[in-house]
Amino acid sequence: MYKSLLTFPLWVALLGAPVASATDAANTEGLFKEHCAGCHGTTRTGAMGPALLPENLSRLRKKEAIEVIGHGRAATQMPAFSEKLTTAQIASLADLIYTAPPVSPAWTIDDIRTSQVIYHPEGSLPDKPKYQADLQNLFIVVELGDHSATLLNGDTFEPIHRFKTRFALHGGPKYSPDGRYVYFASRDGWISKYDIYNMEFVAEVRAAINTRNLAVSYDGKYAIVGNYLPHNLVILDTRDLSPVKVINVEDEAGTSSRVSAVYTAPPRQSFIAALKDLKEVWEIPYDNNPEFKVRRIKVDDYLDDFFFDPSYKHLIGASRDSDDGQVVDMDAGKKTHTVDLAGMPHLGSGITWEYQGKPILATPNLKEGQISFIDMTTWKVIKRIETKGPGFFMRSHENTPYAWVDVFFGPNKDLMHIIDKRTLEIVKTLQPAPGKTAAHVEFTQDGKYALMSIWDMDGAVVVYDANTFEEIKRIPMKKPSGKYNVFNKTTYSRGTSH
Ligand code: DHE
């Protein structure tokens, strides 16, 4: 209690919110140059340390930022400044990094080229794996806790190798079609290519200052990176991650937009991007389109999140501020249906299966504890079920009659529901580690085992028998987030994300 009297919020409460003067701002800039710029870059776009711009800090509350500046960050090179700086100075630095600079920083194709690092030129590493394992049943597990990833054997559930990644990976890593390489994206725009056979990074490039996600073309030749900062899409040559083209995302009038997400659409031989600030969906064919010309499809609303039907003929998109989802016929190039989807459906985490002879889509909801089931022939919601709280990830597999969905938010975050795909009812609720978030399931190649994350620094991947729901094994890990099975991802299983 006594200690808290000395801390910033009380100081603010007693004196009132400080009025920033030009001198204060200049002093804070000076502090930043002296203590922070060396690692985070003079323009805050990041260097050895991560970028410190509002877009890059969206997952970190200001209170936590103040804590990190004062006391450092474990398992990184971020030192503690509480001995060097006053509480007020630390608070002013936190204010600075959550304020957009007067001029948005640029990141040009030359910056991208300059950032490229080639550790092993193409063809210089052996083609034979350095270990014995079924290469189709490997997993990459991302461990957010200390910015690492584990290569896991999906038959024995033994880790093969653990390695450091870039800071704050986000979104699913994407495999090359043969499963030998995996591509990671970090929120700071770093794209890394990792050789799973040799357990080495082969190339890295910084494609942007703030990235949403990346997708890899069906033929494996290109990667595309969708960005918030700058407002663009960057196409890379997957051989060494050289930039091939930067596509500025703007409409005909020159209004620019952030990219919500970009995915590959295998049967269409194209990439498809949803935009956050323009009412357009973009399709970029990569076959017979050397200039990567964009096909623009007008839609009724901005799209924050979207999903495809298994044929990739329809896109189902949702805006976080609307009660409706939109169905876009990708061949006709127009919106054809509206889906009644209230709350904040997490379509990106939706999955599909056949129910009573019809394809259905099931999606959790980030705001409400419910799962919606949508008939993909009529685009009507055929059922909603209540869950113990809003969920983030839903997963299944062709060989299991069950779908697993987490309760990511709220007091029941330690629960995981299992839904029978034949009845659309919850048949079991697991609580693998009381008090700790249970999240994100991915199946083995044959669908016999389900791997679940205990999303905690003192966490684990828990392996379950997917039929009996019995726990088989607990593999200790540091805040494991997503896990990605080579076969399920490269064959575009209907039970997982693509
Ligand atoms: Fe994600 C995937 C968007 C916050 C963990 N997340 C995705 C994808 C999108 C997305 C568009 C699909 C990209 C892909 O896989 O190629 N995520 C968003 C948001 O808009 C949101 C709500 C806010 C934000 O700040 O970006 C958000 N996401 C989070 C988190 O807070 C999570 C839980 C922790 C983190 O890493 O920051 C998180 N998102 C994930 C994971 C995936 C993901 C683990 C990949 C899931 C998969 O199985 O493919």
Supply the CATH number for residue 79's domain: 1.10.760.10
**Which pLDDT belongs to residue 424?**
98
pLDDT-based confidence at 10, cuts 50/70/90? very low
Q: What pLDDT, on a 0 to 100 scale, did the predictor assign at position 25?
A: 76
User: Which residue is closest in CA terms to ligand 1's atom 2?
Assistant: 171
- Confidence category of residue 347, pLDDT binned at 50, 70, 90: confident
CA 402/CA 425 separation, integer angstroms: 10
Q: Return the residue whose CA atom lies nearest to atom 38 of ligand 1.
A: 170
Cβ of 481 closer than 6 Å to ligand 1, yes or no, is: yes
pLDDT band at 76 (very low <50, low <70, confident <90, very high): confident
Measured from the CB, is residue 192 less than 6 Å from ligand 1?
Answer: no
Q: Whose CA is nearest to atom 14 of ligand 1?
A: 171
Q: Which has more confidence, 77 or 157?
A: 157
Q: Taking all residues of the chain, what is their mean pLDDT, rounded to a whole number? A: 92
**And the tokens for 276?**
């956050």
Q: What does each C-alpha distance from 146 to 72, 74, 77, 166, 372 come to in angstroms?
A: 14, 8, 12, 10, 35
In a domain, 275, yes or no: no
The pLDDT value given to residue 290: 93
The pLDDT score that the predictor gives to residue 21 is 58
> What's the average model confidence in pLDDT over 322-345?
89
Any atom of ligand 1 within 6 Å of the Cβ of 348: yes
Domain assignment of residue 98, yes or no: yes
On whether residue 166 sits in a domain, the answer given is: no
At which of 81, 105, 129 does a domain end? Answer: 105
Is the predicted pLDDT of residue 47 greater than 90, yes or no?
Answer: no
Is the omega angle on the peptide bond into residue 230 within 30 degrees of 0, that is, cis? yes
Candidates 139, 170, 182, 210: which one to mutate for ligand 1, based on the most atoms within 8 Å of Cβ? 170
Output the residue whose Cα is nearest ligand 1's atom 37: 170
pLDDT at 6: 32
Q: Please indicate, yes or no, if residue 352 is contained in any of the structural domains.
A: yes
Q: Tell me what pLDDT residue 23 has.
A: 64
Q: Is 322 in the pocket of ligand 1 (CB under 6 A)?
A: no
Q: Tell me the pLDDT band of 16, cut-offs 50, 70 and 90.
A: very low
- β-partners of residue 142 are 149
Q: Output the pLDDT for position 79.
A: 92
Q: What's the pLDDT band for 22 if we cut at 50, 70, 90?
A: low
Q: What is the pLDDT of residues 451-473, one digit of tens each?
A: 999 999 999 999 999 999 999 99
The count of structural domains within the chain is 2
Kindly state whether residue 277 falls inside one of the protein's structural domains: no
Residue 472 counted as domain residue:
yes
Among residues 105, 138, 171, the one where a domain terminates is 105
> CA 274, 280, 286 angle in degrees (round to 5)?
60
Q: What is the mean pLDDT of residues 169-176?
A: 96
- At 371-387, the pLDDT tens digits run 999 999 999 999 999 99
Q: Is residue 333 part of a domain?
A: no
Query: Which of residues 293 and 57 earns the better pLDDT score?
Result: 293
Domain final residue pick, 105, 131, 159: 105
User: What is the band of 11 on the pLDDT scale with cuts at 50, 70, 90?
Assistant: very low
Inform me whether the pLDDT recorded for 20 exceeds 70. Answer: no
Instruction: Give the H or E element holding residue 490.
Output: helix 486-490
**101 located within any domain:** yes
Q: Does ligand 1 have an atom closer than 6 angstroms to the CB of 216?
A: no
Q: Is the CB of 57 under 6 A from ligand 1?
A: no
pLDDT, residue 167, reads 93
| CA of residue 170 to ligand 1 center, whole Å | 6
Sheet holding 334-340, edge to edge: 305-308, 314-318, 324-329, 334-340
Report CA dihedral (43, 171, 126, 130) to the nearest 10 degrees: 120
59 lines ligand 1 (CB under 6 A): yes
Give the neighbor-by-neighbor strand order of the sheet with 210-216. 210-216, 222-229, 232-237, 242-248
Q: What atom of ligand 1 comes closest to residue 174's alpha carbon?
A: 16
Tell me if 145 CB under 6 Å of ligand 1.
no
How far, in Å, is the centroid of ligand 1 from the Cα of 225? 15
Asked whether 367 lines ligand 1 (CB < 6 A), one says no
pLDDT tens sequence across 90-145 = 999 999 999 998 888 899 999 999 999 999 999 999 999 999 999 999 999 999 99
| CATH number of the CATH domain containing 358 | 2.130.10.10
Does 168 have pLDDT greater than 80? yes
Domain of 449? 345-498
Question: Of 432, 424, 436, 422, which is closest to residue 464 (Cα–Cα)?
Answer: 432
